[in-house]
Structure 1
Amino acid sequence: MENKLAQNLEVINLCLLAGKIMLKCGAETYRVEDTMMRIAAAFGIPHSHSYVTPTGIIFSLDGTEPAKFIRISERSTDLYKVTLVNSVSRKISSGDLTMTEAFQKLHEIEKANFAFPIYQQILAAALSSGCFLLMYLGLWGDFIPAIISGGLGFTCFVYVHKLVKVKFCSEFLAALTIGTSAFLFVTFGIGTQLDKIIIASVMPLVPGLLITNAIRDLMAGHLVAGLSKGVEAFLTACAIGTGIAVVIAFS
């Protein structure tokens, strides 16, 4: 009996570890729940129960075992880790991984850092801002101003977020930086179309993944998670819009 309880506790911890990694890295709520239930089923518990929100996970095996809760305090976007956890889940379901091996794999995934260096992220954001300008039929003369504005804005977002853990504050200041730099470019005759420079430069800050996940969770019936992610995306958009509006209002 004690061995059974200990094994069930290990299954719960394994499922929670997989769910925590996925949720912290930007996975949809229903995908997190489905992965945990599949892992539990692979170890002989076909009727597990889970409740996932963007800030926490509650998981129980059959409704009679004590449920465990895990808190998610920080979230980012790392879809590669989500893919790796899904791969581990599939190997568990096919019987290719034991519980010990699965724990080891998941701990390795959790500790690994697959993020690109900050300078590469800034360069990618800057280049994508210039490409967005061309996609929006902007002038070639505004290509360099859009690159510089987008790069400055993303740099501000990254470093301010390290100092101030309030995400909306860093997004507001990043948008303020983008609006100010774009306005200065146009004022000094380096840029021409202020609106397109600003629109292209803020695109790396737009919460596209949040909006997508919110819609997918709502369609899957996860109303709490879908609404909370939708509100977070709305507040992010408001922070970006407010930063740009302040510049335009005082220009």
Structure 2
Amino acid sequence: MVDNKNEIIKVCLLAGKVMLQSGAETYRVEDTMVRIAASFGIDNPQSYVTPTGIIFSISETESTKFVRILERSTDLHKVTEVNSISRRISSKELSLEEASRLLKEVDQLKHVYPTYIQILAASIVSGCFTIMFQGGWVDFIPSVIVGGVGFSAMVYFHKIVEIRFFAEFLASIFIGLLAYLFIDIRFGLELDKIIIGAVMPLVPGLLITNAVRDLMAGHLVSGLSKGAEAFLTAFAIGAGIAVVFAFI
């Protein structure tokens, strides 16, 4: 008989919650939870993960625990840390209490870069994408400015508007208007190249990647839901640019 069943469940759920909130694939979350439970002597753990919730039980006959996931972001450092803790648990290097303590520390970590660093990175990336998509160097600086303004707008609207996809929609409108203004004053040559480069920091690349990986792993519900979320985000970006083109 395994002792401390409730503590094992708490550790597994905490590990799964941290990973899912940090952008991990659902199949990776399930696998990690099962491995942790098995390492602590659970014979037949059961886990089911969707992008918005985690269902876990230590056996088919035991009561099931559920954790609701309301917020998700991208923090691959946390995913790496939880994976490292999971491997240490599997190799019997950590006790249940130590694993719980380390996971709580990871949950409290704040490794997100300051907003100004994110905006600076988005600006540089925008200019580089413009060149990559065969834009001229004369459009590099306009793309840097437009991309930085667009990403700043998205960050700002995310803070004041709780409706998902609305921030991306408004940010893309800003990008389209500013890019058109630069072309109108002859600060840049190719409108399409500037816009393409500037919207790239808004594109949901991680969502698309995770959706494909989940589908390939057979997690159809998670794969389709993440794919739908990525599609709606991409649609919001495209709709914002289309609105600008409709009125210029």
TM-score normalised by length of structure 1: 0.97
- 1:214/1:227 contact within 8 Å kept: yes
Partner of 1:183: 180
Q: Is 1:44 aligned to residue 38 of structure 2? A: no
Q: CA RMSD in A?
A: 1.0
Q: What's the offset of the Cα at 1:74?
A: 0.3
Q: Is 1:157 aligned to residue 154 of structure 2? A: yes
Q: 1:97 is matched with which residue: 76, 94, 98?
A: 94
Q: What's the offset of the Cα at 1:167?
A: 2.6
Q: Is 1:146 aligned to residue 143 of structure 2? A: yes
Structure 1 stretches of at least 4 aligned residues deviating more than 4 Å after TM superposition: none
Give secondary structure in 1 for the equivalent of 2:67.
strand
Instruction: Among all aligned residue pairs of Structure 1 and Structure 2, give the percentage whose two residues are the same amino acid.
Output: 63
Unpaired stretches in structure 1, ≥5 consecutive residues: none
Partner of 1:117: 114
Q: What's the offset of the Cα at 1:209?
A: 0.6
Distance 1:213 1:46 in 2: 29
Q: Deviations over 1:83-138 (max 9, x none)?
A: 00000000000011111111111111111100100000000000000011111111
Unpaired stretches in structure 2, ≥5 consecutive residues: none
- 1:169/1:239 contact within 8 Å kept: yes
Distance 1:13 1:166 in 2: 31
Distance 1:114 1:161 in 2: 19
Distance 1:166 1:105 in 2: 34
Q: Is 1:169 aligned to residue 157 of structure 2? A: no
Aligned length: 248
- 1:37/1:46 contact within 8 Å kept: no
TM-score normalised by length of structure 2: 0.98
Q: What's the offset of the Cα at 1:191?
A: 1.1
Give secondary structure in 1 for the equivalent of 2:94.
coil
Distance 1:133 1:46 in 2: 54
Q: 2:6 is matched with which residue: 1, 5, 9?
A: 9
